[in-house]
Amino acid sequence: MGIVTSQRVGTEMIDLATDYVGLKLKNPLVPSASPLSRDLDMARRLEDAGAAAIVMYSLFEEDVRAEDAMTERFLLNSALGHAEADGFAPDQGEFKGLAERYLGQLTKLKHHLEIPVVASLNGVSAAGWLEFGREMEAAGADALELNVYHIAADMAESGDAVEQRYFDLLTALRGTVKLPIVMKLSPAFSALPHFVKRLESAGAQGVALFNRFYQPDIKLSDPLTMSNRIHLSTPDETLLRLRWLAILHGRVNLTLAATGGVHGYEDAVKMLLAGADVVHMASCLLQHGPGRLNEILAGLSHWMEEREYESVTQLKGSMSQRNLARPDAVCRANYVGMIDRYEAPAGVWR
């Protein structure tokens, strides 16, 4: 199937272009961070299927530190070992660490792809975020996504303190790199619009809504154990995103990236209608392969053509809170009435 980047409507072309952190993208579909970007051939297939940019898997600072510590231990043990075995000691110069391998993959993707490549960083220490952010910029990343995977489990840490973590990281990085910075957020902020506005003031060019934190489960085995398994998303997960995109659209200037639950073109259309500038996908591509991206692009174009939309710009935010006749529809409109009027769908007991 050919790549769809624009579509003829009557005598007009549908313009699928969108803005993402100051980069002009040919369409709004962008694979989000996932193992797919570990493989150059897969990244090429995603580009061929129409991906407008690609976000790389994250570099996890804790993995880098753990690997460094392991290597150091190994080299120390080798140095203390038998003199006759010294010849077998690895040449430190030849060993490529995790960070170096990540930067190597970034350089490779930049070299072989035409689309923008976004690096993703999950740091632990302030110094780590800065060091790796600088290196990713030097390696040619077009933007930097900060995957701040913080579970606020500390009784002594307030909501303000959690928000402050994000500002401290952003402010430090903002002073270090010139790259556009996207903050990938969890949905667990008590006053999201206020927080996003503050991130914008602190220099973020985009937010990605929302990170999916993997939920630990209890395995009813003997003995009982915790199981940590990644579940791929389902389209139901778009609903959480739709509300907040609709609320934020038109009230902030930074890029709104939707991530979570997009499996078909209808999901992508809804994210754009709510106010997303770009629509990310991971689970559906892992599940169905890169061809799914092209199907979604074709479905989006076809839907726009049928509804006589001329551009993604025109479509974006059409159903955002500011454009709704009843803005309360994305807040608590009819909450009580809805509960009162609940009727069980077919096949549901009551």
Ligand X SMILES: Cc1cc2nc3c(=O)[nH]c(=O)nc-3n(C[C@H](O)[C@H](O)[C@H](O)COP(=O)(O)O)c2cc1C
The size of the interface with ligand X (CB under 6 A), counted in residues, is 23
Decide if residue 241 touches ligand X (CB under 6 A): no
Type and span of the H or E element at 53: none
User: Least distance from C-beta 310 to ligand X, angstroms?
Assistant: 28
Q: Which of 37, 23, 47 is nearest to 113 (CA)?
A: 47
What whole-number distance in Å separates Cα of residue 213 and Cα of residue 149? 7
- The answer to whether the CB of 316 falls within 8 A of the CB of 272 is yes
Decide if residue 105 touches ligand X (CB under 6 A): no
Decide if residue 37 touches ligand X (CB under 6 A): no
Span from 108-116, 168-176, 193-201, 260-268 in contact with ligand X (CB under 6 A) = 260-268
Decide if residue 233 touches ligand X (CB under 6 A): yes
* Nearest CB to ligand X, comparing residues 4 and 284: 284
User: Least distance from C-beta 148 to ligand X, angstroms?
Assistant: 9
User: Least distance from C-beta 125 to ligand X, angstroms?
Assistant: 18
Q: Which member of 18, 32, 294, 301 binds ligand X (CB under 6 A)?
A: 32
* Nearest CB to ligand X, comparing residues 272 and 282: 282
* Nearest CB to ligand X, comparing residues 146 and 273: 146
Instruction: Name residue 278's amino acid.
Output: V
Q: Which member of 113, 133, 166, 184 binds ligand X (CB under 6 A)?
A: 184
In degrees, to the nearest 5, what angle opens at C-alpha 231 toward C-alphas 163 and 36?
85
Site residues for ligand X, 124-183, by CB under 6 A, read: 147
Sheet strands side by side (includes 143-147) = 29-31, 278-281, 255-258, 206-209, 181-185, 143-147, 117-122, 54-60
* Nearest CB to ligand X, comparing residues 19 and 63: 63
- Residue matched to tokens 């624009």: 6
Span from 8-16, 44-52, 136-144, 225-233 in contact with ligand X (CB under 6 A) = 225-233
* Nearest CB to ligand X, comparing residues 147 and 321: 147
User: Least distance from C-beta 282 to ligand X, angstroms?
Assistant: 3
Decide if residue 57 touches ligand X (CB under 6 A): yes
- The answer to whether the CB of 241 falls within 8 A of the CB of 209 is yes
What whole-number distance in Å separates Cα of residue 137 and Cα of residue 21? 15
Residue by residue, what is the 3-state secondary structure of 150-218? CCCCCCCCCHHHHHHHHHHHHHHHHCCCCCCEEEEECCCCCCHHHHHHHHHHCCCCEEEECCCCCCCEE
Question: What is the binding site for ligand X (CB under 6 A)?
Answer: 32-35, 57-58, 120, 147, 184, 211-212, 230, 232-233, 237, 259-262, 281-283, 286
